[in-house]
Structure 1
Amino acid sequence: MSVESIIQSIEKLVSVHEELLIISKEKTKIIKEGSIEKLQALLVKERKQTRLLERAELHRQSEVEKWLIKKGISSENVRISNMLTHVEISNDKEKLASVTTELTEKITMLKLQEELNQALLKQSMQFVQLSMELLNPSIANINYGNQNQDSKPIKQSLFDSQV
């Protein structure tokens, strides 16, 4: 197994993350519009991309594992920085570092976009909750009259002393 196969698997991850970022930006627009139907359709598309991402990550892991076995390196706690020290060809080393940096940037951008979407959804839910509270006032607000008036029952004795 060559480093090139690992680089290709990371490039595949980059492309899947790019697609997820595009979907996430679309999701932001749809959330702002408030279209539930469009959002549901987009979530189906997002799920498909997530499955693709999972498969691409499994492929990358297997490629790295094969490369580590070939090099005789322990596979515990392997990081890209550790791998780079074992790559002999400088061109491959540069390419691996470059594509890994690109992947990290895409992941960071996607995370920020999804945090924005989450904040927008939370704000939408708060608006819906407020609207529901305004449309359905509580029982205490429905009753007319002075709510602060003490309504003490009139005490009547069993024995009428005035008789």
Structure 2
Amino acid sequence: MSAPKLIDVLDTMNRLHEMLYTLAEKKTDIIKQNDMNGLDQLLKEEQKYVAAINTMEKERQQLAVELTGKADATLTDCQEVVTEQEKLKLQAMKEQLAAKVTKLKEQNELNQQLIYQSLQFVNMSMSLMRPQPEHATYSHPTQGQTGQPKRSMFDSQA
């Protein structure tokens, strides 16, 4: 029976999600420190964990299909065809995994907000450095002005 294998796969997925959560916490600190090189390195490491989780998810799906005979079997479907002890283990693993995914999702949302705020700050700084023209439409240089006509910083007649 593939129930013990399924429990092992879920355990591995739990550990991978925990490591990914640890990286997400590190990412928060790196974003706060504005360390772009560190962020690049962390993203590469994060991609490795995501690839491993995807591999384990495919294996979990395959084991669930073998266990239940259904093409799109879920963990709940698997719990219906295993022994009571395995059912309890699967339920515990399912709850742990759901909790870790929720925790990871919240941390990633925080990181996304921090990045968005950093981007807003950069855009504001850029706007201050190069202000927009006062008039968006063309008007004759002598119209609407009182006093002397506008002079350029550079004297083109010299």
1:63 & 1:86 partners in 2: Cα distance? 13
Instruction: Provide, for residues 96-118 of structure 1, a one-character-per-residue CA deviation record: whole Å limited to 9, x for no partner.
Output: 10001100001000110000000
Q: How many residues align?
A: 140
Match of 1:80 in 2: 75
Given that residues 7 and 93 in structure 2 are in contact (C-alpha distance below 8 angstroms), is that contact kept between their aligned partners in structure 1? yes
Tell me how far 1:2 sits from its aligned partner: 2.5
Is the aligned partner of 1:113 residue 2:107?
yes
Residue aligning to 1:34: 34
Give, in whole Å, the separation in 1 of the partners of 2:77 and 2:49: 30
What CA distance in whole angstroms lies between the structure 2 residues aligned with 1:90 and 1:68? Answer: 16
Instruction: Give 1:61 deviation, angstroms.
Output: 1.2
Of 107, 116, 130 in structure 2, the residue corresponding to residue 136 of structure 1 is: 130
Higher-RCO chain (CA-CA 8 Å, sequence separation at least 6):
1
Matching residue of 2:58: 58
The one-letter amino acid paired with 2:12 is K
Q: Deviations over 1:19-41 (max 9, x none)?
A: 11000000000001111111011
* Contact 2:68–2:77 (8 Å) recurs in 1: no
For the pair shown, which has the larger CA radius of gyration, 1 or 2?
Answer: 1
- The TM-score, its normalising length taken from structure 2, stands at 0.82
1:67 alignment partner in structure 2: 67
**Pairing of 1:138-157 with structure 2 (within 5 A):** 138-140=132-134, 150-151=144-145
Aligned-partner Cα distance in 2 for 1:22–1:86: 35
Unmatched segments (≥5 aa) in structure 2? 136-140, 147-158
| Counterpart in the other structure of 1:157 | none
Offset, 1:137? 1.6
In 1, distance between residues paired with 2:95 and 2:54?
19
- Identity rate, percent: 31
Structure-2 separation of matches of 1:138 and 1:113: 37
TM-superposition CA deviations, 1:113-143 (whole Å, max 9, x none): 00000000000000000011111122339xx
Equivalent in the alignment of 2:154 = none
Q: Which residue of 2 aligns with 1:43?
A: 43
Aligned partner of 1:12 in structure 2 is: 12
